[in-house]
Structure 1
């Protein structure tokens, strides 16, 4: 590891903070060793980045769409050439196992960028309305992009890509916990040759620069992914200047398993999906709702699957799970597991303490609770770790009621052999996305949530529209 602190990127230059001397360390969660030192920016650095983005906006917004797309396609090519570097960065900074980093975490970068380009080419940017009006879509302006550590490249690509294609300029604040992937992404953008000031990146912490970014009068839009608690504060900070705020926040997603499903496959898939990325996914199916006639059988299957789950070194290939991101997060998860035990839930796999066989690293035991009801804290709070709760239900109406009894509404899942039932139940679930019998999320399909899971949508055309204003020119076609 280099002892030099990571630099920020402002107006086309790699820079250290102008006045701040503060640094924070990023920790490899598998080894508990320092993997990066981050130089923390201050308010003056934020202002320089915002002013650079503001100065670059008019020229970049006026650039023809095809030229902006060409630059993004160059960015994709650079990403693909340096793909292995990104895989290593992700596994190092946040502990995703190699196979997950290679096949999903890093792949999200070029995958989302290509989808954004396709959506831009297919989108109707201008159209006639009424007798003589013209509707046009224009870039919203200077955007602040705040990204998390759990799927770092996914969120970089779903914010930076649409902003670049739309004609916006931006300031990225990546997570200080997982800064290596953002540093690489910024290098790719620099190499692609975007005009100075179009893309800026400031390293820092939420307490140090968060409010300076979200309240800045020259910022037009904020796109944030993170906790609901932080999202509420960002919305308040942005309110005085009436900025657009698009947010993808927490989740406690229900996975309804009906008795007529292929029970072995459905339960196995649900358990492993919950444990994927060490449970650190906002759309993880962490509440498994099982029809009571097959509940005991489902619990037995889940016990077997959880017991067979393997943990391992993120740098090694293979079907294993990795550590959670940090000591603080490990301790938070331990506390919530203990709450589940104290509440009287039946611990059928896992539990508190570091996983067996590891004397270092933030490895949480893959944990499953049975005998849970939906009023328990572990059924309502987002654990953000490899912890599954299993809840019985009586019938279809009961399942939907339990699923919707949550402050969150990001994702939901339905497992049944009756496609008509699946379609019916999916329509009733209050969530931004519902997956039936293991169906995956397409890069072109919208991603986002209801209720306290946020607002706005990302991916494809829906992600582009978050970065666009709609203008009507009345009389445009007048004779």
Structure 2
């Protein structure tokens, strides 16, 4: 283990819209605390209704120019943005370590994923096409459709991977010719601030990308603003319902990328070492369990249950806990002290109800006492209907559940309100395909397959939301077809 270090270099965030950069806003301010040390990182200015209104008007004005750009010009500007992210990778990595505890060892991979998404959607900018439809009985009438951007897109992102979230949402919106008004979480305002600055440096006109960090007041104002034509949101179901209510009142479309409580199903014919490694590194090690995609419910066949539990524990014990700014660290803090209390409270209640804490289940003290560190935690004997098995913890906790038959595994895997992802570990491809057809999830990953590639649709069902990011459908979310019919005058 390494010792949490000093506060490090100064961080700052701003309100950016239409070429204006403000150091204070009508929404007050937020004391941003380093989750690894407990030290103050910066006082973050928060926008309110006033700044949201100004930013929306800036975005609407900029839309006239940006939507008229040649698609190839938008493509080249986005490719320059990708190059700038490469040039500023060290800065992005350092910011992520300070603002949400992402280890610097993980940061370059997140930048790589972000660049993949930018490159993919930059390539779509000049490939959006309409369709010509003509009937021989139409008397010569010509009918065709053309894709058009919406206008101003409201982008509300969460705090766990802000750079990737921006590239999944804002970049396809920009490629399609929209302008964006970004409301980042006050927990991670520094990455979006740098992203917005680099957009201008890449040659994207002022006002096309606007960034106003804020709290619920700013979010409410953004969703309700009449100039904002569509909302794309990443977050939890409770907030999503509030956003959808406002969207419904204004007949405004939205994309909802919400949470998950994904199952990782391990059959006895799987490579158990690989299954344990994949499950621990994604479910515990990746961002300390703070991800919507993680397979936090581990369903293990009874014949290999004890063996798999032992491998999970042994793998988790190898995670290097430390300050995220230390290159040796592979496991950092959760976002804040409130998250620590929430996560451990659910674990403690599960233990009182009969589950067994096989590893962890505590907040780390000693050299880590100043930060928000929850020990890597594995809980066995978990009731699949319990709070622990049904609640998205967003923390480093694996709930291990025993099953005996394939149908039982399916019933447990599908037995939540969420439907974002599922993981299968088996050498039997017939079984895998059979399970894929019956799993109620937006994505299924078999034997450690890659997650969220830019070329593939990503999204969920149920309380995991609707709409898709990634692939052709990801940019189709940001255009709407206009049908044109021309009668023959001959």
Q: TM-score range by the shorter chain?
A: over 0.9
Cα–Cα, structure 1 residues 335 and 4, in superposed 2: closer, same or farther, change >3 Å? closer
Secondary structure of 1:256's aligned partner: strand
**Partner residue of 1:12 out of 10, 16, 19:** 19
Moved more, 54-63 or 431-440: 54-63
**Partner residue of 1:76 out of 69, 72, 82:** 82
**Counterpart-to-counterpart distance in 1, 2:125 and 2:455:** 11
Moved more, 224-233 or 261-270: 261-270
Q: Alpha-carbon deviation of 1:3?
A: 7.9
Q: Which residue of 2 aligns with 1:102?
A: 108
> Which stretches in structure 1 are left out of the alignment for 5+ residues?
none
Q: Which residue of 1 aligns with 2:240?
A: 231
Q: Does 1:115 align with 2:115?
A: no
**Counterpart-to-counterpart distance in 1, 2:412 and 2:320:** 31
Moved more, 337-346 or 382-391: 337-346
Q: Alpha-carbon deviation of 1:129?
A: 2.7
**Partner residue of 1:60 out of 45, 63, 66:** 66
* 8 Å CA contact 1:145, 1:172 repeated in 2: yes
**Counterpart-to-counterpart distance in 1, 2:252 and 2:269:** 48
**Partner residue of 2:57 out of 51, 54, 57:** 51
Moved more, 189-198 or 412-421: 189-198
> Which aligned pairs between 1:453-472 and structure 2 lie closer than 5 A?
453-472=464-483
> Which stretches in structure 2 are left out of the alignment for 5+ residues?
1-7, 136-141
* 8 Å CA contact 1:119, 1:460 repeated in 2: no
Secondary structure of 1:29's aligned partner: coil
**Partner residue of 2:272 out of 253, 258, 263:** 263
Secondary structure of 1:269's aligned partner: helix
Q: Which residue of 2 aligns with 1:210?
A: 219
Q: Which residue of 2 aligns with 1:385?
A: 395
**Counterpart-to-counterpart distance in 1, 2:399 and 2:352:** 14
Secondary structure of 2:346's aligned partner: helix
Q: Does 1:127 align with 2:136?
A: no
Superposed CA deviations along residues 390-446 of structure 1, whole A, max 9, x for unmatched, are 111121111111101110011111110111211111121111110000000222111
> Which aligned pairs between 1:176-195 and structure 2 lie closer than 5 A?
176-195=186-205
Cα–Cα, structure 1 residues 472 and 345, in superposed 2: closer, same or farther, change >3 Å? same
**Partner residue of 1:244 out of 253, 256, 262:** 253
**Partner residue of 1:445 out of 453, 456, 463:** 456
User: Normalised by the size of structure 1, how large is the TM-score?
Assistant: 0.95
Moved more, 222-231 or 460-469: 460-469
* 8 Å CA contact 1:115, 1:443 repeated in 2: yes
Moved more, 163-172 or 292-301: 292-301
Superposed CA deviations along residues 153-194 of structure 1, whole A, max 9, x for unmatched, are 110111111111111011101111011111111110121222
> Which aligned pairs between 1:277-426 and structure 2 lie closer than 5 A?
277-318=287-328, 320-354=330-364, 357-426=367-436
* 8 Å CA contact 2:262, 2:421 repeated in 1: yes
**Counterpart-to-counterpart distance in 2, 1:49 and 1:378:** 41
Q: Alpha-carbon deviation of 1:257?
A: 0.7
Secondary structure of 1:474's aligned partner: strand
Secondary structure of 1:444's aligned partner: coil
